[in-house]
Amino acid sequence: MDANQWITVIVVAALVWFIYSRMAPVKGLNNVNAAAFQQELSDCADKLLVDVREKNEYKTGFIPGAINIPLSQIQSQAAEIPKDRQIFLYCRSGMRSRQAAAVLKKNGFTKITNLQGGILSWKGKLSK
């Protein structure tokens, strides 16, 4: 193989790794649909609902009771989130909240539920 072929192989491998790292399931994450998410929210007494969208997205409408910690700030604010509570995460489509769950898992959180499909799949009320 010549140098150009090696470079192509390396670039393709890096691209595959990048896509996989964004799409891979988070081990131990409770990833549920909107109906199950809403049911678990109502059943859980000691919960923290976190919207990981950016502030301007949050202001357009959020699930009642949610606090806003954007994905871009989740690592720096992880120490402020109580590890003993059930954490419910959501974003617009479910991708950023899954990334946030991975960050929280790496920081020792074990009780995390993610809204699959994000707020786009939510059928309940929204607050503004």
Residue 4 placed within a domain:
no
Question: How many domains in the chain?
Answer: 1
Residue 3 placed within a domain:
no
Concatenated DSSP letters of the chain = --HHHHHHHHHHHHHHHHHHHHHSPPTT-EEE-HHHHHHHHHH-SSEEEEE-S-HHHHTT-B-TT-EE--HHHHHHHGGGS-TTSEEEEE-SSSHHHHHHHHHHHHTT---EEEETTGGGG--S--B-
**What does the pLDDT read at residue 48?**
96
Check which CATH number belongs to the domain holding 60 and give it: 3.40.250.10
Q: Which residues of the chain have pLDDT under 70?
A: 21-26
Enter the pTM of the model.
Answer: 0.80
Residue 83 placed within a domain:
yes
**Residues recognised as catalytic:** 91
Residue 19 placed within a domain:
no
Domain residues for the domain of 68 are 27-121
pLDDT tens string 3-35: 888 888 888 888 887 777 666 666 778 899 999
Residue 48 placed within a domain:
yes
Residue 18 placed within a domain:
no
